[in-house]
Amino acid sequence: MSTVTGLKGIIPPVITPFRPDGEVDTASLARLLEHLIAGGVHGVFILGSSSEIGAMTPDQREQILETTVSTVNGRVPVYAGIIDMGTRAVIRHAQKAAEYDVAGLVATPPYYIHPSDDEIVAHFRAINEAVSLPVIAYNIPTNMHSKLEPKVVGRLAKEGLAVGVKDSGRSDANFRRMVMATRGVEGFSLLTGSEVTVDFTIIAGGHGAVPGLGNVDPAGYRALYDALEAGDLASAREKQERLVRLGALRSQAKRKEVGTTAGSIGGYKTALQLLGVIEHNAMAAPMTPLDDAEAAGVRAVLEQEGLL
């Protein structure tokens, strides 16, 4: 296993701007990356759930890799998702990402097949044998239908099969157990995927966050992280609560035609469109973008929290 240094801080999962015809809007993606870097992020994570990876073609994956790596140009680390259903497909994605010299790879357990714990460990072992890049494990059971249990995370850490975990399991208790299971493993990082409990998880022993809402307000999350690093808990609580309020932009989709994923990611996209960062709030098919009335709700949230 290769090691990665500095896997900590705020590493937003970058959304994918699309044109209305369904193709990747690379110009908007480049502007978004500049917005994130200007906001002080410590790295960027592409090709994850917030990128709409489940609805993306292989060509679009590579377009995003190429645009991101060339735009970032070494200013912050780029972590690339290699998410797919089976080990062989994941390894192909890993080998393609390695061609772009990313800092690390982010892999979920195999999904659809309902793997055992031993099969999950074998999956990560195979990735490590195929590529020399560091691997970050990604726990998101709502999408994968399998869970990275703390004991499995402990095995991955102790056997050198992962350098960290991004936990989107929505359980502070489970995050705490991951901290306990990996304590003493030098260089292993625990990152939360929660936008609203960054303060709790870092106090519990975490090393940073991968917040989707960080696409909209990267500077707000950087300020929160800096306050936590400085031990200023009163300031951190105030900053976290502001971000909780800003998170209301995820719930502005009111029509039954808009699904849960489209409503949440569409809230980020609509906010970024209103901020002038991306051109369109289009979603990957078959997801439905927010309409003008819903965009007005997003605007109201941005205005209330001082971003417009």
**pLDDT of 198-215, one tens digit each?**
999 999 999 999 999 999
Question: How large is the average pLDDT for residues 123-146?
Answer: 95
Is-above-0.85 flag for pTM? yes
Q: Between the CA of residue 251 and those of 233, 258, 271, what are the distances in Å?
A: 28, 11, 12
What is the reported pLDDT for 144? Answer: 87
Pick from 47, 15, 43: nearest CA to 28: 15
Q: Does residue 136 sit in helix, strand or coil?
A: strand
pLDDT digits (tens, 9 = 90+) for 226-284: 999 999 999 999 999 999 999 999 999 999 999 999 999 999 999 999 999 999 999 99
C-beta neighbour count of 3 within 10 angstroms: 11
User: Are 175 and 204 spatial neighbours (Cβ–Cβ below 8 Å)?
Assistant: yes
pLDDT digits (tens, 9 = 90+) for 80-120: 999 999 999 999 999 999 999 899 999 999 999 999 999 99
Q: Does residue 18 sit in helix, strand or coil?
A: strand
What is the reported pLDDT for 3? Answer: 47
The set of catalytic residues is: 138, 166
Please state, in angstroms and rounded to a whole number, the distance separating the CA atoms of residues 130 and 274.
43
Which residues are CB-neighbours of 134 under 8 A, at least 6 positions away? 1, 2, 3, 4, 7, 103, 104, 105, 163
pLDDT reading at 2 higher than 50: no
| Number of alpha carbons in the 13 Å side-chain half-sphere of residue 241 | 6
Please state, in angstroms and rounded to a whole number, the distance separating the CA atoms of residues 84 and 105.
13
Please state, in angstroms and rounded to a whole number, the distance separating the CA atoms of residues 41 and 271.
18
- The model's confidence at residue 4, banded by pLDDT at 50, 70 and 90, is low
Query: Is the Cα torsion angle 62, 68, 71, 75 positive or negative in sign?
Result: negative
What is the reported pLDDT for 145? Answer: 82
Structure tokens at 233: 């808990």
User: Are 61 and 99 spatial neighbours (Cβ–Cβ below 8 Å)?
Assistant: no
Give the chain's end-to-end CA distance (angstroms, integer).
45
pLDDT reading at 1 higher than 50: no
pLDDT reading at 6 higher than 90: no
248 dihedral zone (left: phi>0; alpha: psi -120 to 50; beta): alpha
pLDDT digits (tens, 9 = 90+) for 32-67: 999 999 999 999 999 999 999 999 999 999 999 999
Pick from 69, 89, 87, 45: nearest CA to 192: 45
Mean pLDDT of the chain: 96
Pick from 17, 104, 7: nearest CA to 64: 17
Identify the structural domains of the chain with CATH numbers, from first to last.
Answer: 9-235 (3.20.20.70)
Q: Could you identify the residue written with the tokens 């999956």?
A: 123
